[in-house]
Amino acid sequence: MKYNNVEKRSMQKVIFFLAVIFTLLQASAQIVPTQMLNAETALIDERVDTKKFPVLNQDSVWTANNYYKIERSIPMRDGVKLFTSIYIPKDSSQKHPIMLMRTPYSCAPYGPKEFRNFWSRNTQWYFKEKYIVVLQDIRGRWMSEGVFEDIRPYIENKKTNKDIDEASDTYDAIDWMIKSIPTNNGRVGVSGISYPGFYSTMAALSGHPALKAVSPQAPVTDWFIGDDVHHNGAFFLLDTYDFDYFFGKPRPKPTSDEPTFFDFNSKDNYDFYLKAGTLKNITKKYMGDTMKFWNEEMNHPNYDDFWKSHTITNHLKNIKPAILITGGLFDAEDCWGAWNTYKTIEKQSPLTNNRLVMGPWFHGGWAKSDGSHLGNVQFGKDVNDYYYKNIEIPFFNYYLKGEGDAKQIAEANIFITGENKWTAFAQWPPKNTEAKPIYLNDKGALSYTKPTDSNSFSEYISNPAKPVPYTEDVHLKRTREYMADDQRFAARRPDVLVFKTDVLDKDVTLAGPVIADLLISISTTDADFVVKLIDVFPDTFSYSKKDKYPMGGYQMLVRGEVMRGKFRNSFEKPEPFTPDKITEVKYELPDVAHTFQKGHRIMIQIQSSWFPLVDRNPQQFLDIYHCDEKDFIKSNIRIYHDATNASSILLPVLNK
């Protein structure tokens, strides 16, 4: 039978399609457990979605054709075995480095013929480079044995095999892999995002000689001062409750079954948490006594020995492997951790080869987006490609494969938003940065001129019954976009103070931490203070005619941070305010890297609630975690801006 050219091409397409299906069934064997979906970077918005399955593509077929998978339960020094999935190149003509990723979010799918869809994420780069890729369920999670502990404390002086921590587990895992995985070249790297970023930092303390390079990315670092659970002692309700309910369920034995999510029976988080009332109500009604870490949070309201023992930055000394710390300028979960892990290593381990990368990303955005925008704000093209091609892959290839020259990677590789370009610095903060105070003034003015008025202040009533929302939208899950959201909705509220400069006649670039130095008085004995640094776009601004949102006059949140007032002098020993007494509240906001362009304005907003991102402060000096609804009262807040009491914001101005 003869066929014309059109029929031949149609048959060829059908044959190719059937071949792809056959390859999928034979090599990949995938109907995959849902735990694998982006889970290693999860905290809130990246968690497993039980209604979705990964879509396999031709690249996934490539992985299955070029790699094989083995699963092993690796024994630790105390006898506990950790479940480990190992993906090994079929090419045995050369030795391959090992990339280890330790996770509490499951190394699924389970089964030697079940392949993860690596190609949809940053892991594709390591497969292209023919790395041995190893995923491990950490102690007490999923298919690993043992008892799980949140941010397990580091034991500095281990004396027996019972003295275990995540550093010792990493050491034992690496030791087994070097001796047992075929075709490895004896060099190991460790990387991880978010909670796995914490395990990466701990890996750097393991001391194993085969560990040559580590990249903690958006690492969990300090859950009282700056990451996830608290910021400056203020409880981050929206993230912590949702995460603890999912993550904190007891797991009596190894399992591949996924925990269930909380059924809010609502689509409005502001309404849900306001109706829930107090933290005591939430504990009693929803958490009970089975959620271990939630109850520890409720019973450790101050920065006590419990929190200090769970803080990794107390131990970052004498680190041997090369370090590459990666984070997002707009990371809603672990922005503080990336900046401060880098700074702490610089101080505590000055001989360590330590580098920093901060891009215009949300939490883990370098691994699962193109980095071109966040919400309405645009950053340009090739943001992520630049990072992988010029920084992360060259970093690991140099230390694990002996390729290239890591000296070409700068000490600090920072994406400056506003002007939207990568910039290399010899140190961070840059040497030519000046802490320059910009003063709050009467009538909402913001200028570098110190006020000369007497007894000048702005005031508002903070009412816990009607807290300031953290974003304008009605939604259930915390958004990642709020970190760069338009703040015009907040500026219109009577309980939000607004100060702004004149239109800038030249660019102003900020590079480093921002310090809020407020002189305040309150009518009660406690209050929160939220300071927001904002870039006000020109009224005529637009990216293009295709803008879906009116960008003219956009008030872009560059950085916002909260301080629970009673911790203003000490996180260990909180102090009440004396009502109506002028008091200084001074605290640090996480670093920024942003250019306020000519024609824009700099704006500062100040408020005393940020709900339900942050739990409501009753505005009385008491145990917030166990107080009653009747304890929540209004407070009259005054922010002073006169010659004697001049409130200011110290801006890290980069002198170019």
Give tens-digit pLDDT for 512-533. 999 999 999 999 999 999 999 9
Average of per-residue pLDDT across 26-40: 34
Residue among 489, 555, 567 nearest 529 (CA): 567
Average of per-residue pLDDT across 190-219: 98
Q: Note whether 512 and 329 are within 8 A (CB).
A: no
* Rounded Cα distance, 436 and 75, in Å: 55
pLDDT digits (tens, 9 = 90+) for 450-465: 999 999 999 999 999 9
For residue 214, list its beta bridge partners. Answer: 190, 323
* Rounded Cα distance, 358 and 338, in Å: 8
**433-654, what's its fold?**
Jelly Rolls (2.60.120)
The residue extents of the domains of the chain are 31-222+311-425, 235-309, 433-654
Q: Note whether 279 and 625 are within 8 A (CB).
A: yes
Average of per-residue pLDDT across 563-570: 98
pLDDT at 250 over 60: yes
Radius of gyration of the chain (CA): 26
What share of the chain in percent tops pLDDT 70? 91
Structure tokens that stand for 556 in this block: 């872009």
Q: Is the dihedral of CA 610, 611, 612, 615 positive or negative?
A: positive
Q: Which range is least confidently modeled, 23-27, 85-89, 133-137, 276-280?
A: 23-27
Confidence of residue 59 (pLDDT cuts 50, 70, 90): low
* Rounded Cα distance, 423 and 312, in Å: 29
Q: What DSSP state is assigned to residue 299?
A: H
Q: Which range is least confidently modeled, 51-55, 122-126, 386-390, 483-487?
A: 51-55
Residue positions counted in the chain: 656
Confidence of residue 122 (pLDDT cuts 50, 70, 90): confident
* Rounded Cα distance, 261 and 269, in Å: 15
Confidence of residue 64 (pLDDT cuts 50, 70, 90): confident
pLDDT at 42 over 50: no
Q: Which range is least confidently modeled, 284-293, 312-321, 476-485, 579-588?
A: 284-293
Structure tokens that stand for 155 in this block: 């034991």
Q: What is the DSSP string of 586-637?
A: EEEEEEEEEEE-TT-EEEEEEES--BTTSPPP-SSSS-GGG--GGG---EEE
Confidence of residue 467 (pLDDT cuts 50, 70, 90): very high
Average pLDDT of the chain, as a whole number? 91
Q: Note whether 650 and 517 are within 8 A (CB).
A: yes
**235-309, what's its fold?**
alpha-amino acid ester hydrolase ( Helical cap domain) (1.10.3020)
* Rounded Cα distance, 255 and 102, in Å: 17
pLDDT at 605 over 60: yes
The predicted structure's pLDDT at residue 249? 87
Q: What DSSP state is assigned to residue 130?
A: T
What 3-state class would DSSP assign to 413? strand
Structure tokens that stand for 35 in this block: 């735990």
Q: Do domains 31-222+311-425 and 235-309 have the same CATH topology?
A: no
Q: What is the CATH number of domain 31-222+311-425?
A: 3.40.50.1820
Q: How far is CA 38 from the centre of its chain?
A: 15
237: left (phi over 0), alpha (psi -120 to 50) or beta: alpha
Confidence of residue 57 (pLDDT cuts 50, 70, 90): low
* Rounded Cα distance, 487 and 492, in Å: 9
